[in-house]
Amino acid sequence: MSKTRYEICGQDFKINGQLTYSEIPGVNPAAKGLLFNARFIQGVFNDINPANKGVYDRFGKTFDPDENTRALIEALPAWYDAGLRAITVGLQAGGPIYSYTDWAVIETGAFSADGKEINPDTWRRMSEIIKAADEIGMLVIVSFFYQGQFQYFDGDAAAIEASKTACMALLELDYDNVIIEVANEYDTMRMHNKDTALGEHKNMAAWIRKIREWTGGRFAVGSSPAFRVNKEQVQASDLALIHGNQKRRQELHDLVRTVRMYAPDKPIVVNEDSPLFTQLEVAIDNHFSWGYYNTMTKQEPPCDWGITRGEDQYFAQRLAKVIGIKAETLPEKDVYLQGFEPEMTIDDGRYIRVAAKNPELIDRVRFYEDGKQLDIAYAEPFMLYDKATWIQEPYYPGDGAKCFSAAIRWLDGTETVLTQDLTLLPPADRNKAHKPSPFNDPTGGNASL
């Protein structure tokens, strides 16, 4: 029997009969009813395309889909203690941002081509995550479809059938801690399947209503857009699922204001954004739920699901702070040079950024190689070669380069310099570099909500 049940009451969530976070002594009253979450989309990831064998044996690990799921489950209690109350996991997983020029080369095999069957191993792993989350009081936003996998269906009728198959599988579970996201960024489906009509707003609205009918209203249902929120789709949903990629504080506030005009009495859940965790204050001020999204540690399999040093750690601390949870105290100017961990390379490239406990105290960061300036970052999350709040270009040390440094200029006029001895790192092969996925172009794709 499910230990974790939720209900939606206007703009708020209740878990087991009380507003979320009510059980925490000294809780911030503004946090009650919210559902802070994280994008753990790769929780059941597998790639059955034989051409990709070995691609995910990296970061000092050999990829195993069951181990990937087990590691996520083991990490959940620490995230719960920090304040997470929901995670998003995709049946068709997600796109490893830095791994491919085209996510369509991935084949997760989650459903049969006709949609009538769900892969038993995929479903077993998802069920294990749902059960583990239920045990500790967390919800799972189960995302049915991902744009990079949509071409594997035999037409729209098969995709609709697959959604019914997933609904029936959920109904057979004895757990009620599930929210359904029909599709991740549904209006991008035509990027990989130009013949589909399911990405049209009116069709998604009808699809949401059909899924609610199939499940008897047992689970809340929504679907996230990539480009523009749509009034008809939002009003058909039980909750407004939106993404905040590339939006800064004001833009996110403006988006939420628009959604509120469409659906003033429904909860808003951002279930994908970036590592830009100062958005938590925007969420508290505007009473919506915000979702953390780390493209490196949490979307590149095999994922490190723990609260890793740097970005994850600082997010967890900020989350605890805005909710009112007692947490470890770090110095106000605690910073970390992220991306030089020994095994953290993709195609020999490194993704370097300066993580900070209080990024709002930083004016700018200058990046140098052997004293020569490479780039300047003026805004959180302070990435080298920034492209958007959630993606950047790789760094390859120059031939014979000895020292990398990041000079952090604080708003109070002081400076902190972080350094990395490049001679301690294994050599990098620039010939392995590739262009990122076209979805990652900040002039289009899901960077333009």
pLDDT in tens, 85-135: 999 999 999 999 898 888 889 999 999 999 999 999 999 999 999 999 999
From-to residues of CATH 2.60.40 in the chain: 335-446
Q: How far are the Cα atoms of 9, 26, 259, 332 from residue 389, in angstroms, in the given order?
A: 32, 32, 22, 23
Checking if the pLDDT of 178 tops 90, the result is yes
Percentage of the chain modeled with pLDDT above 90: 89
Q: CA-to-CA distance for 233 and 262, rounded, in angstroms?
A: 10
Contacts of residue 366, defined as CB under 8 A and 6 or more positions apart, other chains included, come to 373, 375, 376, 406, 407, 409
Confidence of residue 442 (pLDDT cuts 50, 70, 90): very low
Q: How far are the Cα atoms of 27, 261, 337, 419 from residue 204, in angstroms, in the given order?
A: 37, 20, 42, 50
Q: What is the pLDDT of residues 22-31, one digit of tens each?
A: 999 999 999 9
Q: How far are the Cα atoms of 132, 304, 351, 394, 411 from residue 368, in angstroms, in the given order?
A: 45, 28, 14, 15, 20
Q: CA-to-CA distance for 300 and 293, rounded, in angstroms?
A: 12
At position 447, the amino acid (one-letter code) is A
The 8-class DSSP code of residue 162 comes to: H
Which of 4-13, 170-179, 320-329 shows the lowest per-residue confidence on average (mean pLDDT)?
Answer: 320-329
pLDDT value at position 152?
94
Which among 353, 358, 428 is positioned nearest to 384, based on CA atoms?
353
Checking if the pLDDT of 283 tops 90, the result is yes
From-to residues of CATH 3.20.20.80 in the chain: 6-328
Confidence of residue 445 (pLDDT cuts 50, 70, 90): very low
Confidence of residue 337 (pLDDT cuts 50, 70, 90): very high
Residues paired with 419 in a beta bridge: 405
Give me 266's structure tokens: 């429904």
pLDDT value at position 5?
98
pLDDT value at position 440?
52
pLDDT value at position 430?
82
Confidence of residue 427 (pLDDT cuts 50, 70, 90): confident
* Rounded (10°) CA dihedral 435, 439, 443, 448: -150
CATH assignment of 335-446, among 2.60.40, 1.10.287, 1.10.3470, 1.20.1260: 2.60.40
pLDDT value at position 439?
53
Q: CA-to-CA distance for 212 and 196, rounded, in angstroms?
A: 22
Checking if the pLDDT of 312 tops 70, the result is yes
Residue with tokens 């679907």: 223
Checking if the pLDDT of 437 tops 80, the result is no
Q: Where does 6-328 sit in CATH, by number?
A: 3.20.20.80
Confidence of residue 69 (pLDDT cuts 50, 70, 90): very high
Give me 166's structure tokens: 């997933």
pLDDT value at position 148?
87
Give me 429's structure tokens: 């092969």
